[in-house]
Structure 1
Amino acid sequence: MDDLPLFPFPPGPVMEPPPEYAERRSGCPFGKVAMRTGGEAILLVRHRDIAAATASPLMSRNHARPQVPRGNSPDFLYAPDLLINQGTDTHAKVHRTVTRALGPSRVASTSEFVGSIAGALLDSAPDTAGPADLVAAYTSPLPLLVVCRLLRIPDRDAARIHAWAAAYAQVISLTSEERDREVEDFTGYVAALVTRVRDDPGDSVLDELASPAAGLTDAELVSVVKLLVSAGVEAVSTALARMVLQLLLDRRAGWTQLRERPESVPAAVDELLRLAYEGNVAALRVATGKVELPSGTVAAGQAVLLAWIAGLHDPEVYPDPTRLRFDRPSVRMIGFGGGRHICPGAGLAKEILRVALTTLLDRRPDLRLAVPPEAIRFEAHKIGNVIQELPVRW
């Protein structure tokens, strides 16, 4: 293992994947890497391999399995109550229930209030030629307030929820003891929220999940809410900031295109999610049986890393992959997973992003970067490379 390349690779240029991915796609598409947290795994870098792996029921996402490599630092993915770490029947029940609660009718019903929150955030931001941090003013609070509304969390608790979600998803630096305290407080808050909603039903996503018909236990519901808050806030916020930055690169070429053709925003969301995917991260799977993939065979018990950004830049599927194009043929977004582990909130996330971009184009048409792209500061975390500040003018 000492001779294996270390993963994750060093970061590439601004908003571009590390060059090692292209090298491995052409010369070593099914080779092993040593994980910096410990253990080794096959690194998948071709779109067809990643798509096949996500669809295979033999590729387990359960991080609690004894064969799964793990490091010395705490990681929320190894939490025993996490949905992905549940048995097959429990996972199927919970995943089915959450998917139904976040289905097309719920997505359609959120558009108006997402737009109202987005508009209010931009209206409250000062009209100034001076630099403003778009992360603090818009890309961070928007998904936070939307998720709070969907889960009946009062706005007055939003700041606490944000801090807890960041600690749970490990997008802030804390000691093990500090993180344990934050997660314990987060769990206690969510447990009290679940009790309150069960005692006083309403019409939110949480109410649907807490209804007797859903059949979820309190423990299952608490785990689901923690995951929805963390993914719905941190992942969407990270994606939105990266998408806006991508549009503002190359002398605002993408931004100008969308201003001239706002009807392209839905297609732009798909393309931006591909091109601006959350950096140099990969999902861990362990084969529970022999799995035949296009580039090779995975033995039972073998760990595999799915390098999303490599697959999303595979020229076999996306010709000229570093180019921003809103007219690409539709391809299933592998970044949302697949099979029984496909993200149940994918439709909702895309709708939040669509409304966020539409509102930003309408309210801040002259948006532009206030600093050179290379001055934008990223930090690598479990969910990807998070933009710390996005200085802009409008």
Structure 2
Amino acid sequence: MTIGRLDANAVISEFPATRPDSCPFDPDRAYAELRANDPVSLVRCPAGMDAWLVSRYQDIREVLSDQRLSSRAAGSDHMLPSYEEHDPIPGFITQLDGEEHARLRRLLVGEFTVRRMEALRPYIQRITDEHIDAMLAGTGADLVRDFALPIPSMVICEMLGVPYADHEMFQLASEVLMSFDATDADRAEADHRLESYLGALIGQRLIEPRDDLLSRLIARGNGTDRPLAVGELATLAKLVLVAGHDSTANMIALSMLLLLENPDRTAALRADPSLIDAAVEELLRYLSVIQFGLIRYATEDVTVGDVEVKSGEWIIAATPSGNRDESMFPDPDALDFDRRGRRHLAFGFGAHACIGQQLARIEMRIALSTLLRRIPDLRLATPPKESDFKRNNIVYGLQKMRVTW
């Protein structure tokens, strides 16, 4: 691993991680200049390593699909000041490569097909309506706590077989794991708490299987020549639980803030509900909540753009920059529901593309369209500039969002 400068004489900039005060929905403005003048540039990361920052859409797609580039520090460990290289953790699917990654993905992929996700639609609609009913019983709400966070949490609990009654514990642990401001001790404790909790559930399913994802993963693993160990399955389940609710919750709340700040776009959605599919894709592109991109490690010499990257060097695929690339998305800083395409990089690309993306899409479509339909006079209770954004989290979003109607 290369820690420190790749070239002692190179000019190395700090990793761009500052959103403009004038528009908290935009990525660091340095990306536009980098795309134009230095699309594969050296940056110094908070974790201490220097890396090649890739800012153009096409180059990013090539980086994320190149099997010579390892995901050993994925997703955004370049932002963690205490990061140290370690051996791959069994079950940590996002940081595994080759057959180890493919083996776990094969066990999961059948659970997240479009057909299975569509079958969840009535359940998602019901709990969405129930949460809106509860909100309407009062005169205001925190849209994060009362709506955006519980809906995907309940869905992923239903799928996994995790009791939703324990949601406060796993949501708090997830928040610690997602924050780069948390101490190493707090992160280790949260990680241990989640894996111990899931390990106990897995132990129960080994004795008494149920109709849930945990039980089916055990059965599928036992049907292969390498059954899943309890620790391996607990790590895999932890990633599914955390990723399965956190990113979507942040997207729902942040999307509503953006829509309320763009009344013409909101009016268009209310006037023509069929726009919701295109609107969700555009919101995913525009917001790019995996805000610091995805890191890769070169296991061989590779060429990225016009740059020769040596084996042992780091590369960061700046997906928020790719989603604002003018060559792919004309007028990229405009929120345009007429783009009608899924070419964005919000779910990554290649072998490690987000396995739960179809679920996230359905949850967003139902949550946003139902909220706009049922509370037509929804408005912010506090000015947007007073919003508490998650500026130093893996996933960008809001800590809270007070609304009224």
Question: Do both proteins adopt the same fold according to a TM-score greater than 0.5, normalized to the shorter chain?
Answer: yes
The answer to which of 89-98 and 74-83 deviates more is: 74-83
Aligned partner of 2:242 among 222, 226, 230: 230
Match of 1:165 in 2: 174
In structure 2, what is the Cα distance between the partners aligned to 1:290 and 1:226? 34
Summarize the Cα distance change of 1:381–1:155 in structure 2 as closer, same or farther, 3 Å threshold: same
Give the alignment of 1:90-239 within 5 angstroms.
90-129=100-139, 131-170=140-179, 173-211=181-219, 212-213=222-223, 215-239=227-251
Equivalent of 1:243 in 246, 251, 255:
255
What secondary structure does 2:48 align onto? coil
- 1:333 is aligned, of 331, 334, 344, to 344
Query: Is the alpha carbon distance of 1:110 and 1:380 closer, same or farther for their aligned partners in structure 2, counting shifts above 3 Å?
Result: same
Displacement of 1:234? 1.3
Q: Is the 8 A contact 1:15 1:279 kept in 2?
A: no
Is the CA contact (8 Å cut-off) linking 1:241 and 1:387 kept in structure 2? yes
Structure 2 CA distance, aligned partners of 1:382 and 1:75? 19
Contact 1:308 1:334 in 2 (8 A): yes
Indicate how the Cα distance of structure 1 residues 209 and 105 shifts in structure 2: closer, same or farther if over 3 A, else same. farther
Name the counterpart of 2:69: 59
User: Residues 249-301 of structure 1: CA distance to partner in whole angstroms, max 9, x if unpaired?
Assistant: 13x22211111111111111111001112164121111111223344332222
Alignment pair present for 1:390 and 2:401: yes
- d(CA) in 1 for partners of 2:150, 2:84: 25
- Equivalent pair of 1:128/1:393 in contact (CA under 8 Å): no
In structure 2, do the counterparts of structure 1 residues 40 and 95 end up closer, same or farther at CA, with 3 Å as the change threshold?
Answer: same
Find out whether 1:285 has 2:296 as its counterpart: yes
How far apart are the structure 2 equivalents of 1:74 and 1:294? 28
Alpha carbons 2:60, 2:322 under 8 Å: kept: yes
Amino acid at match of 1:159: E
Q: Compared with structure 1, are the counterparts of its residues 295 and 362 closer, same or farther at alpha carbon in structure 2 (3 Å cutoff)? A: farther
Q: Give 3-state SS (helix, strand or coil) of 1:148's partner.
A: helix
- TM-score w.r.t. length of structure 2: 0.89
| Range that drifts further, 306-315 or 78-87 | 78-87
Matches for 1:258-269 after TM superposition, within 5 Å: 258-269=269-280
Q: Deviations over 1:125-173 (max 9, x none)?
A: 14455x42111111111111111111111121111121222233337x5
Deviates more, 1:149-158 or 1:70-79: 70-79
- Give the match for residue 10 of structure 1: 18
1:257 aligns with 2:243: no
Asked if structure 1 preserves the Cα contact closer than 8 Å seen for 2:387 and 2:398, the reply is yes
Superposition CA RMSD, Å:
2.4
Deviation at 1:390, TM superposition (A): 1.3
Q: Does the CA-based 8 Å contact 2:47-2:81 persist in structure 1?
A: yes
After TM superposition, give the deviation of residue 36 of structure 1 in Å.
2.1
Aligned mates of 2:367, 2:234 — CA distance in 1: 28
CA pair 364-232 structure 1, distance change in 2 beyond 3 A: same
Query: 1:78-118: per-residue Cα shift (whole Å, max 9, x none)?
Result: 87242233352221100122112211222111111111111
Contact 2:45 2:79 in 1 (8 A): no
TM-superposed CA distance for 1:48, in Å, is: 0.5
Letter of the structure 1 residue corresponding to residue 234 of structure 2: V
Distance apart, 1:4 and its partner CA: 1.7
In structure 2, how many angstroms separate the alpha carbons of the residues matched to 1:349 and 1:265?
14
Q: Which residue of 1 aligns with 2:37?
A: 27
CA distance in 2, matches of 1:163, 1:75: 24
Q: Percent identity?
A: 28
d(CA) in 2 for partners of 1:10 and 1:57?
31
TM value normalised by structure 1:
0.91
Gap change, CA 1:115 and 1:329, over 3 Å in 2: closer
Structure 1's 27 and 174: CA in aligned 2 closer, same or farther, altered over 3 A? Answer: closer
Deviates more, 1:136-145 or 1:211-220: 211-220
Q: 1:207 to 1:157 in 2, by over 3 A?
A: same
What is the total number of aligned residue pairs between the two structures? 388
User: In the aligned structure 1, how far is the partner of 2:85 from the partner of 2:385?
Assistant: 31
Mind listing any 5+ residue stretches in structure 2 that lack a counterpart? none
Match of 1:352 among 354, 363, 378: 363
Q: 1: distance between equivalents of 2:305 and 2:382?
A: 44
Q: 1:312 to 1:149 in 2, by over 3 A?
A: same
d(CA) in 1 for partners of 2:387 and 2:84? 27
- 2-side partners of 1:63 and 1:385: how far apart? 19
Structure 1 residues 76 and 189: CA distance shift in structure 2, 3 A: farther
Deviation larger for 70-79 or 25-34 = 70-79
Distance in 2 of aligned mates of 1:69 and 1:261: 42
Residues in 2 aligned to 1:146 and 1:76: alpha-carbon distance in whole angstroms: 34
Deviates more, 1:214-223 or 1:139-148: 214-223
